[in-house]
Amino acid sequence: MRPISVLMTVYNGEKYVMEAIQSILNQTFQDFELIIIDDASTDRTVNLIRGILDERISLHTLPRNMGVGYANNYAVQLASGKYIAKMDADDISHPERLATQFEFLEKNAQVGIVDSFVNFFTESGSVKKSQRFKDYKDIYSSQINKYYDSKTLSKELFWFCNIVHSAVMYRRGLTKFFSYPLDMKICEDYSFFYRMNDKGIIFHKMPFFLLSVRLSENSITATKTEEMLINIFKIKENDISTFIRINEKPIAIWGASNLGKLTCNYIRNNFNVQPMIFIDSNIKKEDRRQLQNIDIVNPNEIEFNEFKIFVASSYGKFQIAEELEQKGLKNIKDYFVVF
């Protein structure tokens, strides 16, 4: 039995899969198995992988496309290592990644799962010019590539996915209690982490760049944003229900963009509760307008302790949460970060 099982799932990945595999084979830590699950690719992916002569590689092909959750669970069942490392089929692991994470988990028995800083890159000129790439490089990168103590990492993991799936290594024993959902083709990793976090599993983020994440025209998060948000509501459903019913205060939604709109619809449709107001720092009193037939107000116009507040601002959540806590409001009790 090798100490590390590296798991990779792939679907029609002929363009980049060889580079991803090579980044694993070139690791300074060489004692691993690489389990690859092909999810019924229709391109040259399988033939390319079969051409690699390395006894550590184990390729398994699914007879039909089953989805990433099924493929991940299948890979986990085949793993025999003490630790599991995830790897996406279009990313690049830095040479010292496995060695660094293995050594850390060996020395820190209290930690269940570890990831690292990641670098976002693209080889596409159109992606490089896109707002999405700019947001990843300038905003999301700064949100995840920062020092976290375990308490803050856990708190913010309930807010958004601050763990990068392709950068994680975790103890295989955890898979006795946690698996990937089969009904999600996106956010299945966040569901996996969210439930671990909810049960008190300790996460750690290594302050080193150990992975490069490729952004391409076909990146799933670029084309399925609304499906992603729907799945996030599903992941947080029990906690949202508890927050709504925690007291009788009316609901305010801080964020009047698409996320705020979706949050409003979700609360109405699933809990039969009508939010009272939207909050938007950019709105002026004289410019009063509505969203979903609900008034949008400036935060200076309200008494925050009179409301339960859903924070529905992907990029502004940190500043909003900080402002709310400065006013004495508490995470989960008084405000709930949607994403």
Q: pLDDT at residue 285 above 70?
A: no
Half-sphere exposure of 71 (CA within 13 A, CB side): 31
Residues 233-272 have pLDDT tens digits of: 999 999 999 999 988 899 999 999 889 999 999 999 999 9
What pLDDT band is residue 169 in, cutting at 50, 70 and 90?
very high
What pLDDT band is residue 220 in, cutting at 50, 70 and 90?
very low
Among left, alpha and beta (phi > 0; psi -120 to 50; other), residue 292 is left
What pLDDT band is residue 105 in, cutting at 50, 70 and 90?
very high
Cα gap 173→83, rounded to integer Å: 8
Closest C-alpha to 33, from 93, 77, 91, 84:
84
Residue 81 corresponds to which tokens in the numbers above? Answer: 């290592």
- Do the Cβ atoms of 88 and 68 come closer than 8 Å? no
Closest C-alpha to 32, from 60, 55, 61:
55
Amino acid at 94: H
Closest C-alpha to 168, from 223, 70, 87:
87
Query: Averaged over 87-104, what is the pLDDT?
Result: 98
Q: pLDDT at residue 34 above 70?
A: yes
Q: pLDDT at residue 219 above 50?
A: yes
pLDDT value at residue 137: 86
The model's pTM: 0.93
Cα gap 337→254, rounded to integer Å: 10
pLDDT value at residue 286: 61
